[in-house]
Structure 1
Amino acid sequence: MLKGIPDIISPELLKILHEMGHGDDLVIGDANFPAASNAKRLVRCDGHGVPEVLDAILQLFPLDIYVDHPVGLMQVVPGDNTIPEIQEEIRKIVCKYDDRGEKTIEYIERFAFYEKARDAYAIVATTERKLYGCVIIKKGVIK
């Protein structure tokens, strides 16, 4: 047991976060995201949603200040009438941890998002049921 680490961060996830270097990407996937088939390293976070996992990770994980958009969200597929309310939750969490606010966020076309996810250092698989809840975050430096 350690002090100051959110309970939702498992030892396996803590190890992954610690191993990552500046510029490495981490994907936090919702329940529909093909995490196992795309991950170099997969961490299960069953029973938890993307917003709570993202909030816990950003308590420990600096976002990259040397890129314009260290946060990527999946764009809504054209013709899909889904309103991804979860993306507003994600935006609020990102704004809590990064002074640049929503300027840090870019929206990535679905298949480009999958391609970027395949190159990520690791993927965290959640059981988030809200659609378009996937997020990619780029690790920054500790100063």
Structure 2
Amino acid sequence: MGLLKKIPPILTPDLLHVLRSMGHGDKLCVCDCNFPAAEVASKTTSKKHIILSGVDLPQALDSICDLLPLDFFEERQVGYMSPQEGVELPKEGQEVLDLMKESIHKHSPKAKVEPIERFSFYDEARTCFAVVQTLERRPYGNAILTKGCIGPDGNDLVP
């Protein structure tokens, strides 16, 4: 496998193909190692289940968001899994969410990153274009990104 300049090396050829194949409004689920990724991916548009070995959620999002424009024509650009009502988010879960937001905002500072209740998250993930599974072990390390457009300046198109 050869590397390319300015392309994060953790992004596999299959993942680069998925990112390039996605259109405006398509969604990408980036999930942890405990997520039912194979089952969910079997319901997605492309049926793609990509595994990023040795990569945690913040690393994956940092590399993906370096290339993927987010959809600022939607109210929410990124959704993340949150516990169902009555369940408290564990300390490690809050840690991964804070790092996730940091990775996303590094590339798209204006992105709205909002919670999606756990079971609603599973339903929305099944409508995604593809699933990218990381080896993230902290709980609730799951996000759905909505692909946007690249503006004339080469950045996210923000209305």
Same fold (TM over 0.5): yes
In structure 2, distance between residues paired with 1:99 and 1:57: 15
Aligned to 1:26: 28
The runs of at least 4 consecutive aligned structure 1 residues that moved more than 4 Å come to none
- 1:92 positional shift: 1.0
Aligned to 1:117: 125
- 1:81 positional shift: 5.0
In structure 1, distance between residues paired with 2:139 and 2:16: 26
TM-score (norm 1): 0.94
- Root-mean-square deviation over aligned CA pairs: 1.1
* Unmatched segments (≥5 aa) in structure 1: none
> Is 1:134 matched with 2:142?
yes
In structure 2, distance between residues paired with 1:48 and 1:31: 10
Determine which structure has greater relative contact order: mean sequence separation of CA pairs < 8 Å that are 6+ residues apart, divided by chain length: 1
Please tell me whether the aligned partners of residues 12 and 43 of structure 1 are also in contact (alpha carbons under 8 angstroms).
Answer: yes
Aligned to 1:4: 6
Q: Which amino acid aligns with 2:97?
A: Q
User: Which residue, out of 116, 125, 139, partners 1:108?
Assistant: 116
In structure 2, distance between residues paired with 1:126 and 1:92: 17
TM-score (norm 2): 0.85
Aligned to 1:86: 96
Larger Rg computed on CA atoms: 2
User: Which residue, out of 34, 48, 54, partners 2:55?
Assistant: 48
